[in-house]
Chains A and B, each alone.
Chain A
Amino acid sequence: MQQAYRYSILYFLAFSLLLLASSILLFNERIGFSYGSVLEYYLGNEESFIMAKRPSGLLKIILPHIFGFGLFIMVVLHFVMFTKTNKKRIMPYLISATFISGFIELFSPFFILYGFEFFAYLKLLSLFVFESLLLYMFWILYSSIINK
């Protein structure tokens, strides 16, 4: 029985990697990974005919992600909790850091809209931290499944 569930989790990891890859490609396509492109995406640019985002429009994009982030982080973390990893001591920090970076990644655009332009850096940093933490947890899960 245990072996059968390992397959499911292994495939879940494969889907998760595809999800991360598609999110990075989508971010690159829509926003871009530079400070200027983040500001341009949210604040608009008359020369490039890019409209500034409205808070209501932003909330429409964020809304499904609030649920998605919460569910996805919970599923991944709960799998990690059941592994026989020797990293149990760092688990509370890992849980906090993942949720906090996810939260900042989602809500920093509102601060950009309200004039705090340096939050563009925070948006990029939180994205990098969030995705790195997820990749780290995927690695813990993968090595736990492979090493049994």
Chain B
Amino acid sequence: MSTPTEGREITFAQAINEAMHEEMQRDPSVFVLGEDVAAAGGVYKLTRGLLDAFGPERVRDTPISEAGITGLALGAAMTGMRPIAEIMFGDFLGLVMDQIANQAAKVHYMSGGTFNVPLVIRTTMGAGRRAAAQHSQSLCAWVAHIPGLKVVLPSTPYDAKGLLKTAIRDNNPVIFFEDKMMYQKKGFVPDPSVEYAIPFGKADVKRTGTDITIIATSSMVQVALDAAEELAREGIDAEVIDPQTLTPLDEASLIDSVKKTSRCIVVDEGYQRFGATAEIAAVIGENAFYHLDAPVHRMGAMDVPIPFSPILEDQTIPNPTAVIKAAHTLVGR
């Protein structure tokens, strides 16, 4: 099933809420825990209504103990439950890293395949909310670096719902990044009576084109599409492709697209140095080098702590104007 172009419109936040609601209804071992997730419905209201539907055992307010939340969720996942742990801001992964990187990621392998970890960690990413250096980072590269984790970056309400359902059903630890600036963006999502899930490791072509490939993740998909619209008016036909998951990464689809267009920009909101863009650019460089007419161009967040003042912060994130400029350079017109 491909992304619908008509019908019911809901927000990104509602799509995530629906996915949790439906999976909790389907499977009694699924439960949600995190800070302010119960009566408050979460700081971004992602868990609104779940407490009334499923009660305080399965929609569990926790202390402000991010490492503990994640570690407890891991232990529960190893012993028959399917927890969804909410870590309020992606920046707080700093508090959680041992539980994710040394524990959850390694349990299945270290135990010779005897223990599974069906654990979802939902967290946020994205700058632009004037939230400053400790509430704005996009740290997906941190976890994409660790074998044993799956890393998901949805870019539309439809994708968010379908990918979260897959995450909840997966038997591995999945880190699910939600761009906080996208929560109120609307998109077409089928009626709840229409069941769908989106498989991991399949890139989604958001716009077909022949002159240049723009590989974009999460918040940057819309930036790439906006840029592509403008480029089209100038006669440059851009293809926008969204990997949807960094791990597993659909390398083949990305490589095929670049072999077709011969030019490539990679855009991700994480820090540019050693980030997701670096890995993807390396994949393209290693596998499509002889098809390239220009060097692969990377665009990530500026390598500075995200500043508060709007005039400073706005410079740090790639925007359509910058993508258009880069495309001009690569295409040579």
A binds B: no
